[in-house]
Structure 1
Amino acid sequence: MARDGAQDSHQHQSLMYPYGPDVGDTKNPKSDDGTSPMISTAVPFTFYGKEHNKLFVNNNGVVSFGVNVSQYTPDPFPLDAGSPFVAPYWGDVNNEFGGDIWWRQTQDPKLLSRCTEDINQYFPEVPFTAVWALVATWDHVAYFGSASKKTNTFQAVLTTNEKIAFIMMNYLDIQWTTGIASGGDAKTGLGGTPAQAGFDSGDKTNYYNIPGSRTPDILNIASTTNVRVPGRWVFQVDEFVIGVTTEQSDCLV
């Protein structure tokens, strides 16, 4: 049994794209409900028909386009505000209590080759060669009001060939769902209004709530998938395409 656990841990670790200071990442400031500076992208990222070249990596588990997001209690998609964003795990992170948020945009050939290989595997019918990627990682982040050692590690990867765009969300270890300002328990990080995962284009038409969002089941997101790889969700987002096949509902594990 221990060997199986080690194999499972290795599998989940291998899902994560490299991150941290060794690969040139920038680290967000220690700030409750904080964000990165505005990031001007080297190439446009098309999100449901709209090209974006400015984004933010927000501490509360969101990559947003055009404007930063400080809201800590998640709302279900579609949002009324109309601000487009990707939410690998939208909840009340507080990196002052623990953990770091790392990000980089890159055109490194090795990283882009990995993006291309992954997307070609999951979307074999879509001709795609990555020319740019953003890797944002929430590494062992704590929740607001934490009275425990529970942390979450997850990641969002955005990649494009300047026309076709994909988002990938990787989950290494999820131990909490809710900060105390969202009704969670300080000792468990559970209860209240749990985290939301998915994306929202801002047009009230194109959006997706990953199953379990804003319910206690989101704690198990590292065991679910739409590409038959537990702990990974991948979507084409330049136009409305959910999952990769008509068998998506059979891919959840």
Structure 2
Amino acid sequence: MVSFIELNPIDLGRCSLMYPYGPTVGDSVNPKSDDGTSPEISISVPFTFYGRPYKSLYVNNNGVVSFGVNVSQYTPDPFPLDGGTPFVAPYWADVNNVLGGNVYWRQTQDQQTLSRCTADINQYFPEIPFTAIWAFVATWDRVAYFGTASKKVNTFQAVLTTDATISFIILNYANIEWTTGIASGGNAKTGLGGIPAQAGFDSGDKKNYYNIPGSRTPDILYIRDTTNVQFPGRWVFQVDDFVIGVTTEKSDCLL
């Protein structure tokens, strides 16, 4: 296992994986509310997630971007889910932004952001012609866990992008220091134990889903050291119809 060392060169490199976020780039911010959510966000370009185009989404404080309904559940379940709610989970756990941190989001057709999405996807999927026309960036910035008695915080991000036909998600991890809130059995002083965070995505059809290795185990604390695209701290998936070139076996790229 690799322990956290603040602001070493590797950590700075991981921070560079994050897309710009916060007030300076015009992000909206979720209310300070335990288990809270954004309002329903109408999106200007439908995002196709496993064959179904969605025209709105929610950014949920507990580390989930969901389609159709908001998600207030704080203890993660393993994928596939029984409830049928499709969502992307960069880090599904019991976040409490009242105790620390902010949850930011924006949809954008800013050319700089779209060019970055295009370049990233072309690098990781050179066999798929792709030029982004829309992106959605959701960022959990230095968020605390429910019942925290420590200064531990997590920073992670989900980027959704599409060319109106093909859709991708990019999951970025800058800093992960805790896995569990106390209502999920975690320790107030460490943020560890109990039922740890879940990461990946679930289409809601019980067929198309992905659990990032380490999900709901203590190893999820080290997700920033893992990848499926040879860049620790980043996971990328095509999600419009089926995952091309990504299986459970091939994605177990623990660095």
The TM-score with structure 1 as length reference comes to: 0.96
* Distance (Å, rounded) in 1 between the aligned partners of 2:116 and 2:53: 24
Counterpart mapping for 1:4-19 below 5 A: 6-19=8-21
Alignment-mate amino acid for residue 81 of structure 1:
G
Q: What residue is the counterpart of 1:49 in the other structure?
A: 51
Question: What residue in structure 1 maps to residue 214 of structure 2?
Answer: 212
What do you get for the CA RMSD once the two structures are aligned?
A: 1.6
Letter of the 1:161 partner, please give it: D
Q: Give unmatched runs, 5+ long, in structure 2.
A: 1-6
Counterpart of 2:47, as a letter, is: F
Runs of at least 5 residues in structure 1 that lack an aligned partner in the other structure: none
Q: What are the within-5 Å matches in structure 2 for residues 1-253 of structure 1?
A: 6-241=8-243, 248-249=250-251, 251-253=253-255
Is contact 2:28-2:105 (8 Å) kept? Answer: yes
Per-residue deviation, 1:7: 2.0
SS of structure 2 residue aligned to 1:213: coil
Distance 2:92 2:69 in 1: 16
Distance across 2 between alignment mates of 1:119 and 1:222 = 19
Structure 1 stretches of at least 4 aligned residues deviating more than 3 Å after TM superposition:
242-247
Per-residue deviation, residues 145-186 of structure 1 (Å, max 9, x unmatched): 000000000000000001000000000000000000000000
Question: In 1, distance between residues paired with 2:245 and 2:191?
Answer: 30
Note if contact 1:174-1:220 (Cα within 8 Å) is conserved in structure 2: yes
CA distance in 1, matches of 2:186, 2:159: 28
Contact 2:39/2:58 (<8 A) preserved? yes
Q: Distance in 1 between matches of 2:248 and 2:171?
A: 20
Identity %: 76
- Secondary structure at 1:251's aligned position in 2? coil
CA distance in 2, matches of 1:14, 1:192: 31
How big is the shift at 1:239? 1.5
CA shift digits 1:75-118 (9 cap, x unpaired): 00000000000000000000000000000000000100000000
* C-alpha distance in 2 between matches for 1:198 and 1:31: 24
Aligned residue for 2:96, secondary structure, equals: coil
